[in-house]
Amino acid sequence: MLNIIDGKRISQEILMEVKTKVEELKSEGKVPCLSVILVGNNPASKIYVNNKKKACEKVGMKSEEYLLDENVSQEELISLIEELNNREDVNGILVQLPLPKHLNEKVVLEAISYKKDVDCFNPYNVGKLMQGTGTLLPCTPAGIIELLDREKIEIEGKNCVVLGRSNIVGKPISIMMLNRNATVTICHSRTKNLEDICKKADILIVAVGKEKFVKDFMVKEGSTVIDVGINRNSEGKVCGDVDYENVSKKVSYITPVPGGVGPMTISMLIKNTLIASTQQKIYIY
């Protein structure tokens, strides 16, 4: 029997849980705050930033936006980040990616205090993730874990195959699944015998950025498939990295695109902001 994992529903559940916690804090005169920095006029980035603002409003958090000119200097951007790092009324800081080419993304992200790093890009938080002791976790991978847990899909002892090795999804979700006692195989563009490896996966997580890359003959009967990809087909419609129509006939659980992993990323960002605020024990209403 096919079970479609409803990321929209689960993400709303998480937001409502966060809202309850925020209301408790408000009764004490405290409220978490997320500051988002957007450089330039990337239309997709503007949409993402607006969605984050709406999510903050939904749970009762304070949100701030800093819209910077695309020609802003590295020094000016770092100066703003340092200012936010030092503000006691800011609990989470996010720099929307991608950045213009003249800015050093690595330097910018590492400038964010690890205490306010709600995207989990700071080396300190990445190190804690590796140790299995992190509390601020990368948003998309953390969302994947939530989907599996809330659908009561067993992770421990399962064969997990991850397609993709990016720092944002592939590497961190591999570590998080390993921390949950899965046996993890990471595949990438140089992997040989990819089809054979995928066929052995109890849980297949796909994040390669290629439309309908995973076909039905590549998956195991009755397995779980998590599609992280967001692509546009020739008709301009959003689709994933998995051939959903055919793969869904063979597996037990699958995430749709859109409506699967995507909504989870923002809800986990909001949850991270709540976690960061409680760890800092700093709230200014």
DSSP assignment of 241-272, as one string? SB-HHHHTTT-SEE--SSSSSHHHHHHHHHHH
Where does CATH 3.40.50.720 sit in the chain?
A: 139-263
pTM of the model: 0.95
Give pLDDT tens digits for 189-244.
999 999 999 999 999 999 999 999 999 999 999 999 999 999 998 888 999 999 99
Give the distance, in angstroms, between the CA of residue 92 and the centroid of all CA atoms in the same chain.
15
Q: Which of 96, 171, 227, 271 is catalytic?
A: 96
Q: Is 279 a known active-site residue?
A: no
Which residue pairs, CB below 8 angstroms and at least 24 apart, start in 166-171? 166/207, 167/121, 168/138, 168/140, 169/138, 169/140, 169/141, 169/207, 169/228, 170/207
Burial letters 64-85, b for 16+ CB under 10 A, else e = bebebeeebeeeebbebbeebe
> 115 with 276: CB under 8 angstroms?
yes
Domain 139-263: which topology? Rossmann fold (3.40.50)
Residue whose C-alpha is closest to residue 202's, from 144, 253, 164: 253
Give pLDDT tens digits for 98-117.
999 999 999 999 999 999 99
Token pair, residue 184, equals: 């993890």
Work out the percent of the chain whose per-residue pLDDT is above 90: 92
Query: Angle at CA 117, nearest 5°, toward 231 and 64?
Result: 80
Number of Cβ within 10 Å of residue 248's Cβ equals 17
Mean pLDDT value across residues 257-276: 97
Q: Which of 6, 52, 212, 241 is catalytic?
A: 52
Q: Which of 115, 116, 117, 119 is catalytic?
A: 119
> 270 with 21: CB under 8 angstroms?
no
In 80-202, DSSP assigns E strands to 92-95, 159-163, 183-187
Distance CA 42, CA 39 (A): 8
Q: Pick 30-113's CATH classification: 3.90.320.10, 3.90.380.10, 3.40.50.10860, 2.60.40.10.
A: 3.40.50.10860
The predicted structure's pLDDT at residue 229: 96
CA atoms lying within 13 Å on the CB side of residue 67 = 7
Q: Is 149 a known active-site residue?
A: no
Q: Is 241 a known active-site residue?
A: no
> 209 with 235: CB under 8 angstroms?
no
The predicted structure's pLDDT at residue 235: 87
> 226 with 264: CB under 8 angstroms?
no
Where does CATH 3.40.50.10860 sit in the chain?
A: 30-113
The predicted structure's pLDDT at residue 44: 85
